[in-house]
Amino acid sequence: MRDKLHKILVVDDDPRMCELLSDILSEEGYSTKTSGNSLKALKTLKGEEFDVILTDLKMKGMDGMDLLEEAKQAAPFTPVIIMTAFGTIETAIKAMKMGAYDYVLKSDQTDGLILTVKKALEYRLLKKEIARLRKRMESEYQFHDLIGKSPSMKRVYETIEMIRGASCNILITGESGTGKELVAKAIHYHNDRKEGPFIAVNCAAIPDTLIESELFGYKKGAFTDATSDKKGLIFEADEGTLFLDEITEMPLTLQAKLLRVIEEKEVRPLGDTVSYPVDVRVISSSNREILPFIRDGKFREDLYYRLKVIEIELPPLRERREDIPLLIQHFIDTFGKKMKKKISGISGDALKALSDYSWPGNVRELENVIQRAMILSQQETLLPADFPDSIIGEKQKKDGHLLEKAVQERYAFDQLLKEYIKRLLIETGGNKTKVSEILGIDRKTLYRKMKE
Ligand SMILES: Nc1ncnc2c1ncn2[C@@H]1O[C@H](COP(=O)(O)OP(=O)(O)OP(=O)(O)O)[C@@H](O)[C@H]1O
Ligand SMILES: [Mg+2]
């Protein structure tokens, strides 16, 4: 009865054939639609989803081969079965190379046809399942522009997801280069405020004398250089996000003013007599511990609690080493595109050295190191020789030269593949035949990979 749900599109320019096939398939419980030519069939395909397409090969005008080509675009998950007369088996095989699922001989018994259709339906389910898994894997490794699958990065993704509908202030802490600004942007663009502006202010980069007028704006004549009114950055961020980078560097007097903005939700420009309402979410960040600043009277405690309604702590890269291979592959891909260089991966020993290194400059340092290596590299794979001695170490560098040829394999990709196999084994309840089919590798290779 379940099969009743499956829809099959039958395409043949011989109306009697269409009718015959339709009868056979209906009897089996499938619902069918017939089409006398490929062009019409294609139109139908664009408006309706089918589970299987059964098409004649030789037709006037657009033939079965053309339909196959078009169907791959219009209905990528729908398997195409080619019907062929004995004399055209060669062409049918060609069609399979082009992506047809299988072929059936017109002279065959109906049993053969039904069996092929059943197999095609199973194949379609599998194909969809793979697509679903792939998507899920990607989303577990990535969130917006953030890469990482370590538990701590996943917690960051979850927090961003959780506060999607909220406007609370957020404090992001972490060493330099851990991705604080990237997280701030991910929060902004994953929020109802994403249509509004994202304004970033680095409190350490603006001199104390200017930061007040920059943030709050001023009225014409407020001071000597104020020749016209100026909107402050807080106002610019109205209905959006204000990102205050290196918040500990903000002068105490301004901290008091900022606290007022947060509490009263209004700004008063320098030299103005009135305040104006603003609606901003403040995300602040610091790569230094804030509590000592509070203890020394350099940071207001009340402001601190206002800023850290939610706190996100980004751990240093050396504490989430499992993210290193992913980040490396990510930077290789992005720089490769930018530089138009065909570098696809990194050698095993270079990856090992990079994974063991302490990364005091965190992701930013890793990004720079990969960029530099890609500029230097002459091969398709990054090798130990492409990295600074301080990271690789002299001895390993020499070993690396000897191993050059042997380690052209893409280690980072292998890691991914292993994770994928593990997942598939779980999802299929340990069905190795199915897993090797999904991956398109033979069982022997699968066993080897499983052992590894
Ligand atoms: N998880 C990540 N995935 C991809 N790229 C990242 C990630 N974390 C950081 N980066 C990249 O590393 C660089 C540094 O990130 P970012 O500027 O956000 O760090 P930061 O914590 O703000 O550093 P600082 O404290 O020095 O300002 C950026 O180029 C950013 O794109
Ligand atoms: Mg920063």
In the beta sheet, which residues pair with residue 311? Answer: 171
% pLDDT > 90, the chain: 64
- All CATH 3.40.50.2300 domain ranges of the chain, comma separated, are 2-137
Q: What is the pLDDT of residue 134?
A: 65
For residues 135 and 246, is the Cβ–Cβ distance under 8 A? no
Answer whether residue 394 shows pLDDT above 60: no
- All CATH 3.40.50.300 domain ranges of the chain, comma separated, are 144-315
Answer whether residue 401 shows pLDDT above 80: no
Q: Burial of 390 by CB count in 10 Å (0-12 exposed, 13-18 middle, 19+ buried)?
A: exposed
Chain centre distance of CA 172: 22
Running DSSP on this structure, what letter comes out for residue 4? G
Is the shortest distance between the CB of 362 and ligand 1 below 6 Å?
Answer: no
SS3 letters for 396-449? HHHHHHHHCCCCCCCHHHHHHHHHHHHHHHHHCCCCHHHHHHHHCCCHHHHHHH
Q: Classify domain 413-451 by CATH number.
A: 1.10.10
Q: How many Cα atoms are found within 13 Å in the side-chain-facing hemisphere of 217?
A: 21
Answer whether residue 412 shows pLDDT above 70: no
Give φ, ψ of 200 to 5 degrees. -105, 130
Higher pLDDT, 175 or 191: 175
Q: What is the pLDDT of residue 408?
A: 47
Mean pLDDT value of segment 213-240: 92
Name the average pLDDT for the chain.
88
Which of 115, 65, 70 lies closest to 90 in space, CA to CA? 65
Q: What is the pLDDT of residue 415?
A: 65
* Ligand 1 pocket mutation pick from 150, 154, 181 by most atoms within 8 angstroms of CB: 181
- All CATH 1.10.10 domain ranges of the chain, comma separated, are 413-451
2-137 adopts what CATH topology? Rossmann fold (3.40.50)
Mean pLDDT value of segment 375-384: 92
Q: What is the pLDDT of residue 409?
A: 46
Q: What is the pLDDT of residues 12-40, one digit of tens each?
A: 999 999 999 999 999 999 999 999 999 99
- The model's pTM: 0.63
- All CATH 1.10.8.60 domain ranges of the chain, comma separated, are 319-409
Q: What is the pLDDT of residues 290-341, one digit of tens each?
A: 999 999 999 999 999 999 999 999 999 999 999 999 999 999 999 999 998 8
* Ligand 1 pocket mutation pick from 312, 364, 367, 371 by most atoms within 8 angstroms of CB: 364
In the beta sheet, which residues pair with residue 285? Answer: 172
For residues 103 and 126, is the Cβ–Cβ distance under 8 A? no
Query: Which residue lies with its CA nearest to atom 30 of ligand 1?
Result: 179
Mean pLDDT value of segment 271-279: 94
Report CA(179)–ligand 2 centroid distance (Å).
7
Is the shortest distance between the CB of 154 and ligand 1 below 6 Å?
Answer: no
Q: What is the pLDDT of residue 82?
A: 92
- Closest ligand 1 atom to Cα of 367: 12
Q: What is the pLDDT of residue 416?
A: 65
Mean pLDDT value of segment 376-384: 92
Query: Which residue lies with its CA nearest to atom 27 of ligand 1?
Result: 176
| Total number of residues shown for the chain | 452
Query: Which residue lies with its CA nearest to atom 16 of ligand 1?
Result: 179
Q: Where are the beta strands (DSSP E) in 12-124?
A: 31-35, 52-56, 80-84, 102-105
Query: Which residue lies with its CA nearest to atom 12 of ligand 1?
Result: 364
In the beta sheet, which residues pair with residue 142? Answer: 147
Q: What is the pLDDT of residues 108-156, one digit of tens each?
A: 778 889 999 999 999 998 888 877 776 666 567 888 889 999 999 999 9
* Ligand closest to the CA atom of residue 312: 1
> What CATH class has 319-409?
mainly alpha
144-315 adopts what CATH topology? Rossmann fold (3.40.50)
